[in-house]
């Protein structure tokens, strides 16, 4: 092989490895993020969800319903995602903010089952929601995210929602 061919071959081989290295680093970052979540009990219920350390769960209770919100502890923090879980008899899906929103469905886990989430993409901002029938009890899970990465994080958080009896 002449020097030019060897140089071009080396450059081609090196450039092919860069995406793999970045992909591996990205996967490692995601795994670290997932492991950084802490399991949190939802009120006095026997249900738990894993959220980031800088988030808390707060309740808004009514006479026949309860809504638990997870948001950053620091209210000045302009969060990239937040969510809530409604428990009650009369859940309603939230309509899109405007007519320019596109609606599609994504599969993700909720209460240890694959579930079709409704996703509203409104100019790059996302809103997800499902209504789940849990043995006659209605659960409406919902949340918003500012980008696709945070949408993935939000759905991962909802996938950690579980009951312990």
Predicted confidence at residue 132, as pLDDT, reads 93
Q: Quick check: helix, strand or coil at residue 92?
A: coil
Same domain, 30 and 55: no
Q: What's the CATH code of the domain at 103?
A: 3.40.1000
Q: Which domain holds residue 69?
A: 37-163
36: tokens are: 């950084």
Same domain, 62 and 49: yes
Predicted confidence at residue 21, as pLDDT, reads 56
Same domain, 46 and 105: yes
Cα 69-70-73 angle, rounded to 5 deg: 120
- Neighbour-count burial of 37, counting CB atoms closer than 10 A to its CB (0-12 exposed, 13-18 middle, 19+ buried): middle
Same domain, 90 and 142: yes
Same domain, 41 and 16: no
Q: Quick check: helix, strand or coil at residue 85?
A: strand
Predicted confidence at residue 69, as pLDDT, reads 94
Same domain, 80 and 98: yes
What is the rounded distance in angstroms from the CA atom of residue 154 to the CA atom of residue 81?
A: 7
Sign of CA dihedral 59, 60, 63, 65: negative
Q: What is the pLDDT along the chain (165 residues), one digit of tens a residue?
A: 555 444 444 444 444 444 555 777 777 777 888 888 999 999 888 899 999 999 999 999 888 899 999 988 887 777 779 999 999 989 999 999 889 999 999 999 999 899 999 999 999 999 999 999 877 789 999 999 999 999 999 999 999 999 887
Same domain, 41 and 23: no
- Contact in structure between 160 and 49 (CB atoms under 8 Å): yes
* Residues making up the chain, counted from first to last: 165
Predicted confidence at residue 2, as pLDDT, reads 52
Same domain, 6 and 57: no
Same domain, 15 and 74: no
Nearest Cα neighbor of 106 from 152, 49, 71 is: 152
Same domain, 27 and 80: no
Predicted confidence at residue 1, as pLDDT, reads 52
Same domain, 84 and 119: yes
Q: What is the domain count for the chain?
A: 2
Predicted confidence at residue 117, as pLDDT, reads 97
- Contact in structure between 129 and 110 (CB atoms under 8 Å): no
DSSP structural state of residue 45: S
- Contact in structure between 28 and 38 (CB atoms under 8 Å): no
Predicted confidence at residue 9, as pLDDT, reads 43
Same domain, 23 and 88: no
């Amino acid at each position: 092989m002449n020097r030019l061919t060897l140089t071009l071959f080396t450059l081609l081989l090196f450039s092919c490895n860069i995406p793999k290295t970045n992909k591996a680093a990205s996967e490692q970052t995601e795994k670290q993020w997932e492991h950084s979540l802490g399991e949190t009990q939802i009120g006095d219920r026997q249900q738990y969800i894993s959220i980031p350390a800088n988030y808390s769960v707060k309740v808004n209770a009514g006479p026949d319903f309860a809504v638990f919100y997870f948001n950053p502890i620091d209210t000045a923090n302009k969060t990239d995602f937040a969510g809530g879980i409604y428990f009650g008899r009369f859940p309603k899906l939230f309509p899109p903010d405007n007519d320019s929103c596109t609606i599609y469905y994504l599969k993700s886990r909720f209460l240890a089952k694959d579930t079709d989430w409704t996703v509203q993409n409104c100019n790059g901002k996302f809103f997800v929601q499902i209504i789940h029938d849990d043995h006659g009890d209605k659960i409406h899970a919902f949340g918003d995210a500012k980008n696709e990465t945070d949408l993935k994080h939000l759905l991962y958080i909802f996938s950690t929602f579980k009951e312990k009896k």
